[in-house]
Structure 1
Amino acid sequence: MTISLTLPAHWQPSLTGTLYIVLAAFGFSAKAILVKLVYGYRVDAVTLLALRIAFSLPFFLLMGLYAGVKNGQ
């Protein structure tokens, strides 16, 4: 048995925005927990900042690639 869910076209931006909000709230709350765990390993702030930038780089590259493809560049 297959269940398919089709949403009206005017709901799509609203659903996407809601998912982004939930993801952002989860990431913002998880950040404090992860930082507290990392400081237990005696990592200095500069190293932690470098790691955060290194882990976020692939996401920014993918967003830039997606924006370039979407704009036809």
Structure 2
Amino acid sequence: MRKILIDLTISQEEFLSWYQGHAKSVLATSRDGRSVSFPAKILQPYVTREGISGAFEICFGADNKFSSIRKVD
């Protein structure tokens, strides 16, 4: 399983735009410089009043499809 580590800071307003369907995926750059695109909906459990902030580990299966996400310290 492939893993990628990303740092995100997304305002509540920006995430709301994704959540309402104006954009369906998030494009981010990993700590090692790779670009990754993933469905915005996977971030929903991590939304606070301030938005989304922190480091996240995203796992992908052999088919490069999203498998899991977790917030890391």
Q: Which has the higher helix share?
A: 1
Using the size of structure 1 for normalisation, the TM-score is 0.20
Using the size of structure 2 for normalisation, the TM-score is 0.20
Structure of higher RCO (CA pairs closer than 8 Å, 6+ residues apart): 2
Q: Which has the higher strand share?
A: 2
**Bigger Rg over Cα:** 1
